[in-house]
């Protein structure tokens, strides 16, 4: 059966590096949303803890509950029904608009998300006073304020403009925190922002993609010592000899130019690997091309190895499909078995 391996040493290497940039492991929130970017949230949580991480971020409360025993604090990014929020020492909900502040139950732990020009969600800078009033009136437990950068991985001024807005937000909320006698933490940096900036006072960082070994930052920002942590493996279903001129797969898109040995393997787009159309070549780790179109549950490759590594780095796969590393990773089916490797290092 096809499976994924998680390289613990690479993961540790990435988190150690990021912690050093962030000012310590206690300054990191590791982002585990969407099944830990496809790596497997339940497999990754104990690894992060073993490395010394105490704080995590999840998409929703369902994910947060899965890893609650492991972390002291879990920031939940989305809650479409704030009135149903759980009051729990370890769970912190994101308050993304004034409406949510009206609905969270009394004593809910929250962080305020501020829209510093991403334009999706978040309290607007001119609503801050109102928000703090509401939080006080509704007796919500505010312990942090954060924002998200939309332009940290692009070249241009966007990132600097947003940082400037954030700086003003911090100043204003520090005054409000004093007025309401609140002890707040601040966080703004995602992977790209952390990689490209050095000290940001005592700010916390929320790292996703870089912890898994990738960055989409342009190479003009430098190179970063990150190691991909996830590999995809497939097992052989059968082997056959194709005669010159014979075809492989739907549409007959691959035609053998000579007699060749071909095997099929148990990975397909049903397992979350993107569907290959067969028009452009994509090779697996050993350099051999995937032949023709990718089926729902299998693919064909020249040779007869019993087990093949489909990828141990998704950079070229993402390029092939004109997307980003995030998307290739996150699509990995939750039904694939995850095996943690403790010894190997790449």
Q: How far is the CB of 332 from ligand PLP (least distance, A)?
A: 16
Tokens representing residue 343 in the block: 């010894």
Site for ligand PLP in 304-323 (CB under 6 A): none
Contacts for 168-176 with beta carbons within 8 Å, 24 or more apart?
168/125, 169/114, 169/116, 169/125, 169/128, 169/145, 170/145, 172/125, 172/128, 173/112, 173/128, 173/132, 173/145, 176/128, 176/129, 176/132
Q: Is 11 a catalytic residue?
A: no
Q: Return the residue matching tokens 């391996």.
A: 5
Question: Among 3, 17, 250, 269, which one carries the catalytic annotation?
Answer: 250
| Cα 13 from chain centroid (whole Å) | 17
Residue 117, sorted as left (phi over 0), alpha (psi -120 to 50) or beta, turns out to be left
Distance of CA 270 to the CA centre of its chain: 21
The distance of Cα 149 from the centroid of its chain, to the nearest Å, equals 15
> In this chain, which of 191, 229, 263, 325 binds ligand PLP, going by CB under 6 A?
191
- Least distance in Å: CB of 71 to ligand PLP? 16
Does 207 contact ligand PLP by CB under 6 A? yes
Residue 34's nearest CA partner among 272, 291, 299, 321 is: 272
Strands (DSSP E) along the chain, which ranges?
3-7, 28-31, 55-58, 73-76, 91-95, 109-114, 141-147, 185-189, 204-207, 230-242, 247-248, 254-255, 260-265, 290-291, 299-302, 307-311, 337-341
Residue 200 is a binding residue for ligand PLP (CB under 6 A)? no
Residue of minimal Cβ distance to ligand PLP = 208
Q: Which of 25, 33, 68, 113 is catalytic?
A: 33
Stretch that binds ligand PLP, among 61-69, 166-174, 178-186, 205-213 (CB under 6 A): 205-213
- Window contacting ligand PLP (CB under 6 A); options: 97-105, 189-197, 221-229, 244-252: 189-197
Determine if 31 is a binding residue for ligand PLP (CB under 6 A): yes
| Minimal distance, residue 341 CB to ligand PLP, in Å | 23
Report in angstroms how near the CB of residue 24 gets to ligand PLP at its nearest.
18
Piece in contact with ligand PLP (CB under 6 A), picked from 101-109, 161-169, 186-194, 264-272: 186-194
Tell me whether residue 16 or residue 139 sits nearer to ligand PLP (CB atom).
16
In the complex, the smallest distance separating the C-beta of residue 237 from ligand PLP, rounded to whole angstroms, is 35
* 22 sits near ligand PLP (criterion: CB under 6 A): no
Which lies closer to ligand PLP via its Cβ, residue 77 or residue 135?
Answer: 77
Scanning 61-69, 122-130, 132-140, 185-193 for contacts with ligand PLP by CB under 6 A, the matching segment is 185-193
Cβ neighbours, 10 Å, residue 168:
11
Q: Catalytic residues, which ones?
A: 33, 250
Q: Which residues bind ligand PLP (CB under 6 A)?
A: 31, 33, 77, 148, 190-192, 206-210
């Amino acid at each position: 059966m096809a499976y994924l391996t998680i390289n613990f040493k690479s993961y540790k290497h990435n988190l150690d590096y990021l912690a050093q940039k962030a000012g310590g492991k206690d300054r990191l929130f590791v982002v585990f949303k969407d099944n830990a970017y496809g790596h497997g949230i339940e497999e990754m949580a104990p690894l992060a803890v073993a490395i010394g991480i105490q704080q995590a971020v999840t998409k929703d409360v369902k994910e947060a509950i899965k890893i609650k025993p492991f972390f002291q604090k879990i920031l939940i990014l989305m809650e479409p029904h704030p009135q149903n929020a759980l009051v729990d020492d370890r769970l912190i909900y994101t308050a993304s608009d004034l409406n949510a502040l009206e609905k969270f139950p009394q004593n809910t732990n929250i962080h305020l998300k501020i829209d510093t020009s991403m334009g999706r969600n978040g309290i607007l800078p001119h609503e801050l006073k109102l928000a703090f009033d509401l939080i006080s009136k509704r007796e919500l437990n505010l312990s942090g304020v954060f924002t998200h950068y939309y332009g940290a991985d692009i070249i241009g001024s966007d990132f600097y403009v947003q940082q400037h807005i954030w700086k003003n937000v911090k100043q204003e909320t520090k005054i409000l925190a004093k007025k309401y006698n609140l002890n707040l933490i601040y966080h703004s940096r995602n992977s790209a922002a952390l990689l490209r900036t050095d000290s940001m006072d005592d700010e916390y960082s929320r790292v996703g993609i870089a912890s898994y070994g990738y960055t989409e930052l342009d190479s003009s920002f430098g190179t970063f010592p990150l190691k991909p942590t996830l590999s995809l493996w497939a097992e052989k279903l059968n082997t056959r000899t194709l005669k010159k001129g014979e075809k492989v797969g739907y549409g007959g898109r691959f035609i053998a130019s000579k007699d060749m040995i071909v095997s099929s393997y148990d990975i397909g787009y049903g397992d979350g690997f993107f569907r290959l159309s067969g028009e452009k070549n994509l090779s697996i780790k050993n350099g051999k091309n995937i032949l023709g179109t990718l089926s729902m549950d299998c693919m064909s490759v020249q040779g007869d190895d019993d087990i093949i590594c489909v990828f141990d780095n998704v950079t070229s796969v993402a390029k092939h499909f004109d997307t980003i590393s995030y998307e290739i990773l996150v699509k990995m089916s939750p039904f694939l078995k995850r095996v943690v490797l403790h010894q190997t290092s790449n």
